[in-house]
Structure 1
Amino acid sequence: MPAYYRATIGEFLSADPQNILGGLQLAYAADGFLSQYSKQTQAWATIIPLLKTQLEILVRITPATIAWSVILEYPLYRLRKRIDVVVLTESPIIVIECKVGSQEFLAQDRRQIEEYALDLRDFHAASSSRRIVPILWSTLATELPREYPEYVSSNDQVASTIFVGVQGLATQLSKLSISDDRPLLVAETWDRSAYRPVPNIIEAATSIFSGHDVRAIANYDADNLNIASARLVALIQEAKDLKKRYMLFLSGVPGAGKTLAGLHVVHNAISSGIVLSCTEI
């Protein structure tokens, strides 16, 4: 699984913190880190009891939340980062960045958690249609930022960042327990969901050009566009017939139509049953 740990809140609360920590350490080591005992694992040892305490309060406030799921250390491969905590509900996806030992809310930390939320919105299939709420949790902060507004539901898919200090995480989570008649997100399904649900250049080209000529999507004035495209397709077909590998380059000044020509080539080649590997540089 991509995440280091996943469970329902009920399972998380009943588990031995040392077992959770051990599982995180093993996953951390399996990722190629030489030492299992590092600053990161020390942070887990601190945050797990704090998180358990807040989730116990949450379940007392709203018992139905015991069926929610908690995911620890979910990877965002594009950013080469891991989300500390993700809480899955029947309504929003809650993304939590834990700043262990921090007494303040830094602008850079706020940008970090907001970037995580936006990344899930844009590249994670199971999150693309869900509301996402980022929370910045500075575990020793006793005061919230002066400009911090109360959480207000809106139509924006990614909500404004919620700030949480020493206390208050459970209370904020309970405010998000608003069902919108959608099914409860299942941890394993969400964890294994495609991370980059965006079409590659080949998928995009076949979709865009299906039933359309190149003139339907752009006005182009490069006289040799069709000639260049036809020549590339001919070379691709030649490579296929000869069972060889060709590396083809199409050059030109910015705006000359290289990308458009490439899309045209991809569509024509795919339509002919040719397998391609394309890169734009």
Structure 2
Amino acid sequence: MTQIARNACGWHGAINTFLKVLEQDWLQDLKNHHLVCMNMEADESQIRAWKNCFNILQVQLASAVKMRADVGNWTIIFEYELPRERGRRPDVIILANDTILVLEFKGFGSIHQAHIDQVSAYARDLQHYHAGSHNRLIYPLLVLTQSKGAEKTQDGVLITSPFELPDVLQSLVDTTVSSTPIDPLEWLAADYAPLPSLVNAARILFQHEPLPHIKRANSARIPETIAELVQISRQARANNEQHLALVTGVPGAGKTLVGLQFVYENHFGDMGSKRSAVFLSGNGPLVKVLQHALKSPVFVQDVHGFLKRYGGSQHWLPEEHIWVYDEAQRAWDAAKVQEKRGHGASEPEDFLRLAERMNSWTLMVGLIGEGQEIHLGEEAGLEQWNAAIKAMNKPWTVHCPTRIASVFSSAAHIQTSDLLDLTASLRSHLAEDVQLWVKRLLEGSIESAAKTAQAIRDQGFDMYVTRDLEKAKQYVQERYLGQEEKRYGLLASSKARNLSNWGIRNDYNYTKNLREGPWYNDSQNSDRSCCRLHDVATEFACQGLELDFPIVGWGNDLLWRNNKWVSPPQPRSQAHNPHQLRLNSYRVLLSRGRDGFAVFVPPEVQMDSTYQALVNAGFHQL
């Protein structure tokens, strides 16, 4: 093998070559590759699985070549590691002329949904992120080594026994090649650029590595949005002015990623050793997770600590002239600031007064989410930014998308740009309709949600509902077995009172001890990792963050009754609209998944109608 091939996979060659290779030589190549990829020796169970796969393919591929001679010229690749995704290795990939076959072998006689979704995700990610696989036919195959049954297709995956494999392979590949055959060396060397998770993206930024650009990210206009913000900052500095720029977008559209990259690129800027920009968030868990991942408290800071230092009657001035405030629509109103910091100005007014005290240029960037206000004092939204501008002494220029320009009647100047509106979700791979589905579900439009759910599944985003929590846990553990970078964990609403009875400890006295940094960042075998499926993150600990596959506990704080969502009365609540905060909390919980999510509904009579509503809205039963 060439060096590129050796680094990319365990073994590759023509099927005719494979049929002549000695098992011990082939096996040693796979062991060596595993050691390089995982920095550890392959264990006995892995070696047994490899040997079983070898023996099956030696017999079945020989039969396939007898049936059709050109099969021997196809390329077979073992243990190809998806770059940047440590531990994700399809068992076998076959490059058959202009077609790609992705095979996953499982030592079972029965079908497990987790195995179907695992091989389906391999095929999906190759299709979208692997440059050598774009515009190629890709078929995911699940080979059940203990099965003797006939082939079948489920959720787009062809499931077969070893004995049916020769017929299946040749049925999927035309004898006549309609497009340019795949060059195996070019395929192995092709770029693979998945969208990084928010935490991984921050690490990449901080390590001076370029963020991977994928077609999906570029179509969401993230580079153009950052360029627009750069231009606005230059305008503010050149004219020594005060500017407010607002970037809007649905959950998962990449607002936080835009803010992080913009701050990073301007962190030192051309001002020498002085910091030019800072990323601020009132989302304590997000701050902790990013600081933990970056091993630095400077790049990302808590907004309340920032304003405690510089706001109100303080006379301190920050070094930075660019302040990026994540989830700025959740800024505290005057009453909340009075309660927490002892003065009667809202956070937007506090920021703008600080800007005017700077006696220099400033750019305030607000990243605006939609429908995610979940704390008391966060319900005033965008309007209080306009009220803050009205109370200022200096003229302010507002930059915003066209659709919210009418809010800012107090601005001296308004410059609209729809580059500041991120409308396509990145968090959910290509599932553009996830946010629409969540919206329709929480509006109570169950039939409309069901129609959207089908489009979501067709794009490779998986949504399950179950009344057995152990089934959901088994599913994620099976699906991500050996994929060390993958993250799954338990999420739940903080107000659900019945979930603790079913093993989801979401009560305040328990969740207050959650250490968000290790929970999101630690390896799967760490006791503090989310993947242990023990500790629970509520809406407050997961907002702005993500998991590959969350398990969401749906509790008795939001129930389906008489064709609408209802929440229990909260007579002591100080919220303007407690029911809306419940809906927003579930909007957050249902928007955290990258590959999909599962919802656990406790098997209680009071939850029956809620479970049925979720099934009717398009969830598959696990």
> Could you state the TM-score of these two structures normalised by the residue count of structure 2?
0.34
C-alpha separation between the residues in 2 aligned to 1:210 and 1:241? Answer: 17
Q: Per-residue deviation at 1:2? A: 2.0
Question: Residue 80 of structure 2: SS of its match in structure 1?
Answer: strand
Check 1:137–1:236 CA distance in 2 against 1; reply closer, same or farther (3 A cut).
closer
C-alpha separation between the residues in 2 aligned to 1:258 and 1:14? Answer: 66
Q: Per-residue deviation at 1:80? A: 4.3
Check 1:57–1:202 CA distance in 2 against 1; reply closer, same or farther (3 A cut).
closer
Q: Partner amino acid for 1:137?
A: V
Instruction: Pick the aligned partner of 1:190 from 171, 178, 187.
Output: 187
Residues 115-154 of structure 1, C-alpha deviations (whole Å, 9 max, x = no match)? 1111111211111211111111011201247xx359xxxx
- Provide the residue aligned with 1:35 in structure 2: 41
- Provide the residue aligned with 1:242 in structure 2: 271
- Provide the residue aligned with 2:167 in structure 1: 171
- Provide the residue aligned with 2:12 in structure 1: 6
Q: Partner amino acid for 1:181?
A: S
Q: Partner amino acid for 2:243?
A: I
Check 1:26–1:149 CA distance in 2 against 1; reply closer, same or farther (3 A cut).
closer
Check 1:180–1:39 CA distance in 2 against 1; reply closer, same or farther (3 A cut).
same
- Provide the residue aligned with 2:489 in structure 1: none
Question: Residue 270 of structure 2: SS of its match in structure 1?
Answer: helix
C-alpha separation between the residues in 2 aligned to 1:131 and 1:201? Answer: 23
C-alpha separation between the residues in 2 aligned to 1:142 and 1:259? Answer: 61
C-alpha separation between the residues in 2 aligned to 1:36 and 1:48? Answer: 16
Q: Partner amino acid for 1:248?
A: V
Residues 196-227 of structure 1, C-alpha deviations (whole Å, 9 max, x = no match)? 2605679944567999xx9xxxxxxxxxxx92
Q: Per-residue deviation at 1:167? A: 0.4
Q: Partner amino acid for 2:140?
A: P
Residues 214-242 of structure 1, C-alpha deviations (whole Å, 9 max, x = no match)? 9xxxxxxxxxxx92359x99x97794333
**Contact 1:70/1:187 (8 A) holds in 2:** no
Q: Who wins on radius of gyration, i.e. which is larger? A: 2
Residues 75-101 of structure 1, C-alpha deviations (whole Å, 9 max, x = no match)? 23448421000000123210001013x
Check 1:144–1:13 CA distance in 2 against 1; reply closer, same or farther (3 A cut).
same
Check 1:67–1:207 CA distance in 2 against 1; reply closer, same or farther (3 A cut).
farther
Instruction: Pick the aligned partner of 1:60 from 66, 71, 82.
Output: 66
Residues 21-43 of structure 1, C-alpha deviations (whole Å, 9 max, x = no match)? 01001111222443344211121
C-alpha separation between the residues in 2 aligned to 1:85 and 1:201? Answer: 31
Q: Partner amino acid for 2:135?
A: S
- After TM superposition, the structure 1 stretch with the greater mean CA deviation from structure 2, 136-145 or 193-202, is 193-202
In the alignment, structure 1 segments of 5+ residues that lack a partner are 151-158, 215-225, 265-279
- Provide the residue aligned with 1:98 in structure 2: 105
**Contact 1:90/1:181 (8 A) holds in 2:** no
> Number of aligned pairs?
241
Query: Is 1:23 matched up with 2:23?
Result: no
C-alpha separation between the residues in 2 aligned to 1:98 and 1:258? Answer: 54
C-alpha separation between the residues in 2 aligned to 1:73 and 1:194? Answer: 17
**Contact 1:65/1:177 (8 A) holds in 2:** no
**Contact 1:6/1:188 (8 A) holds in 2:** no
Check 1:64–1:207 CA distance in 2 against 1; reply closer, same or farther (3 A cut).
farther
Aligned ranges 1:254-273 → 2 under 5 Å: 254-255=369-370
**Contact 2:38/2:86 (8 A) holds in 1:** no
- Provide the residue aligned with 2:569 in structure 1: none
Check 1:236–1:48 CA distance in 2 against 1; reply closer, same or farther (3 A cut).
closer
C-alpha separation between the residues in 1 aligned to 2:118 and 2:106? Answer: 11
**Contact 2:102/2:123 (8 A) holds in 1:** yes
Computed over aligned residues only, the root mean square deviation of the Cα atoms, in angstroms, reads: 3.9
C-alpha separation between the residues in 2 aligned to 1:4 and 1:44? Answer: 11
Identity %: 20
C-alpha separation between the residues in 1 aligned to 2:57 and 2:399? Answer: 52
Question: Residue 74 of structure 1: SS of its match in structure 2?
Answer: coil
Question: Residue 101 of structure 2: SS of its match in structure 1?
Answer: strand
Check 1:206–1:111 CA distance in 2 against 1; reply closer, same or farther (3 A cut).
closer
Aligned ranges 1:197-212 → 2 under 5 Å: 198=214, 204-206=221-223
- Provide the residue aligned with 1:88 in structure 2: 95
